[in-house]
Structure 1
Amino acid sequence: MLRGKRILLGVTGGIAAYKAAALCSRLTQEGAEVRVILTEGAAKFITPLTFQTLTRHPVYTDTFDERDPGVVSHIDLADNADLVVVAPATANVIAKMAHGIADDMLTTTLLATTAPVLVCPAMNVHMYAHPAVQANMETLRRRGVYFIEPGVGQLACGYVGKGRLAEPEQIAEAVRSFWADEREESRTDGPALPLAGKRVVVTAGGTVERIDPVRYLANDSSGKMGAAIAAAALEAGAEVTLIHGRMSAKAPEGVEKIGVESALDMFEAVRSLWDRTDILVKAAAVADYRPARRADRKIKKHGDTLELELVKNPDIVAWAGEHKTKQYIVQFAAETHDAEENAMDKLRRKKSDLIVLNDVTVPGAGFGTDTNIVRVYDERGKAADWPLLGKDEVARRLIALVAERTAARNGADRTPGPDGGE
């Protein structure tokens, strides 16, 4: 798939530069013609000779080191690249890219190229989470730059968190996806978009059930998982609507956002979009019950006890299961005991297509964390089992699974087999 493709690899100054050598080797072995630019910082971690040996081409480090009088090197590299990959990408180079700074060979070439750009960040967890870095990345996304988010794990600085450079195979797979559909249609503008043309509705966060003007019933949901799913669906090419209750996570840019308060509000929002929905991912923590009566004024303290009558809220997923026609339904189940049994029961009763189970008693899988540990089930049983991962990575894997399942179902609908099924 990569034979004859011209890939420009930019390597910046981080300890993860050693992984860039493994990536370069993999791309070269798959037939790509790889050219490498090292920043001054990168050359302190790994030598130009390493990449020269792997690619059989000169390695570029200095804008003013012009070796061929017939061309301007950074323009020639920019013009001849089919794809530019920056791995690892430090906070510094991401900032330079966002603000148009061109003070070395790599950033000068990046300004000159019209090829797609794939950026693979790697840095300390707090650096990655810093608002400046996130704002710079969002600026680049709006300009069409693609990102592979870093993984979660042990960092060279000693911290454990999000900031590890994606593994070389993961980056290579993303590179392959730029040309995956070439036999069906010519694509040079980025990766294949498996949910292009689909309308995805994601619910996220926790609902608030008012007791009186100053008190309410709520839960610990942060909305991080739902926000990550909305972002992953958007990256997969879908038109995304995020219906969210109370949440601390930031909703991704580029999705339609509908803010709600109560379970009834969320139910009405889902119903209003139902006929135009292709995929529903119900990741919100919705209250099962609400106060039977909401006081108009603050309830004053009287006596030692207070009786509060609760009534059942509508079950959004159950309603969706009863009313689905073309829709594909994914629900989440946060369990504390008998997890698999309870999840399968919910899947069947509510007629969902997939259920994502997480045991909230397990460290790293509860509310408010940046990580999750999930198992995914369909009507036949376990469909996927993922270890401790960042919620962004869980979201990407889930969306990939949903895209695969919906594509298979649509294909089966068009050309049924002998038993009429998939």
Structure 2
Amino acid sequence: MNVLVTAGNTLVRMDRVRSLTNVFSGRTGAAVALQAFERGHAVTLLTSRPETVVELRGAPLPASGRWKEMIYRTFDDLQHALQDQVSQGGADVLIHSAAVSDYRPAGVYAPDPGTRFQEGEKRWESTTAAPPTLIDRSADKVKSDEPELWIRLVRTPKLIDLVRTEWGFGGLVVKFKLEVGIPEESLVEIAERSRRQSAADLMVANTLEGMHQWAYLGPLQGHYQRITRQELPTRLLEAVEALHREKNHG
């Protein structure tokens, strides 16, 4: 198989020198990519954290006919690279484990001198007759002399949802889902709804609290299976290989 894997986090720019991101390292995606390579598949790894490959192997994996790494940094970088790779039509499966930014800055604002935010009531108020006003402070480098700044965030496109509907990908899709502070029964229900929404073939789901110990993988024979994190790369590739055989050979 030709396997396309995304791994790592994304940056979204606040200005030319500041960014918002998340804490994820891309270790899971790198481990899955390496497992796919070891099982004889051709792998393209889109990652923001190429050092994780070295950490897992103890040495870099040289580029070859079966291994290619492409490095991205920002949300836009990943969107363009993923669309390009998917549109080329060479991938049999997309394993989308990257922790993609859900929001991006759409403006940086400071309260007008006559405007203040009432924390207790969670509302803006004016100390003058004028209505509460925010002043746009967006710039190549936002000044650091304001007492406070407010960043407006807007939703980013869900890249996994564009893969089939906008980019026409016909291969297998594996989606990853992370939740916080919910019971495992609810996690499985949320994961399956999310899988269907994205028309993914498989889902890997876990919680922030359990992410280093276990994950749910499914649906396998109609159910989700709880597996250890150590098992995940192998079990996931076994499931993908079985689906690929079924799809191509019946």
* Same fold (TM > 0.5): yes
Cα displacement string for residues 220-266 of structure 1 (whole angstroms, at most 9, x for unaligned residues): 11111010011011112111111112465135614211111112211
Equivalent of residue 237 in structure 1, options 17, 32, 40 = 40
Matching of residues 170-185 of structure 1 within 5 Å: none
Equivalent of residue 402 in structure 1, options 232, 240, 243 = 240
User: Compared with structure 1, are the counterparts of its residues 290 and 381 closer, same or farther at alpha carbon in structure 2 (3 Å cutoff)?
Assistant: farther
Ranges in structure 2 where 5+ consecutive residues have no aligned partner: 55-59, 109-137
Q: Does 1:350 align with 2:198?
A: yes
Which of the pair has more CA radius of gyration? Answer: 1
The match for 1:297 is 140
Q: Is the 8 A contact 1:241 1:257 kept in 2?
A: yes
Q: Is the 8 A contact 1:207 1:245 kept in 2?
A: yes
Partners of 1:239 and 1:230 in 2: CA distance: 9
Partners of 1:270 and 1:339 in 2: CA distance: 27
Q: Is the 8 A contact 2:6 2:97 kept in 1?
A: yes
User: Compared with structure 1, are the counterparts of its residues 394 and 240 closer, same or farther at alpha carbon in structure 2 (3 Å cutoff)?
Assistant: same
The match for 1:262 is 74
The match for 2:102 is 288
Cα displacement string for residues 75-133 of structure 1 (whole angstroms, at most 9, x for unaligned residues): xxxxxxxxxxxxxxxxxxxxxxxxxxxxxxxxxxxxxxxxxxxxxxxxxxxxxxxxxxx
The match for 1:272 is 84
**What secondary structure is seen at the aligned counterpart in 1 of 2:151?**
coil
**What secondary structure is seen at the aligned counterpart in 1 of 2:239?**
helix
The match for 2:172 is 328
**What secondary structure is seen at the aligned counterpart in 2 of 1:401?**
helix
Partners of 2:220 and 2:151 in 1: CA distance: 38
Partners of 1:280 and 1:396 in 2: CA distance: 16
Q: Does 1:211 align with 2:5?
A: no
What TM-score do the two structures reach when normalised by structure 2?
Answer: 0.75
Q: Does 1:307 align with 2:150?
A: yes
Equivalent of residue 53 in structure 2, options 206, 225, 250 = 250
**What secondary structure is seen at the aligned counterpart in 1 of 2:101?**
coil
Q: CA deviation at 1:380?
A: 7.3
Q: Is the 8 A contact 1:353 1:379 kept in 2?
A: no
Over the matched positions of the two proteins, sequence identity in percent amounts to 29
What TM-score do the two structures reach when normalised by structure 1?
Answer: 0.45
Q: Is the 8 A contact 1:202 1:240 kept in 2?
A: yes
The match for 2:218 is 377
Partners of 2:107 and 2:51 in 1: CA distance: 28
- RCO greater where, 1 or 2, for CA within 8 Å and sep 6 or more? 2
Q: CA deviation at 1:353?
A: 0.5
User: Compared with structure 1, are the counterparts of its residues 324 and 373 closer, same or farther at alpha carbon in structure 2 (3 Å cutoff)?
Assistant: farther
Cα displacement string for residues 115-156 of structure 1 (whole angstroms, at most 9, x for unaligned residues): xxxxxxxxxxxxxxxxxxxxxxxxxxxxxxxxxxxxxxxxxx
Higher strand share: 2
Cα displacement string for residues 337-385 of structure 1 (whole angstroms, at most 9, x for unaligned residues): 23222211210111100010011112xx2xxxxx441111239752432
Q: Which moved more, 1:209-218 or 1:219-228?
A: 209-218
Ranges in structure 1 where 5+ consecutive residues have no aligned partner: 1-197, 366-370, 413-422
Higher helix share: 1
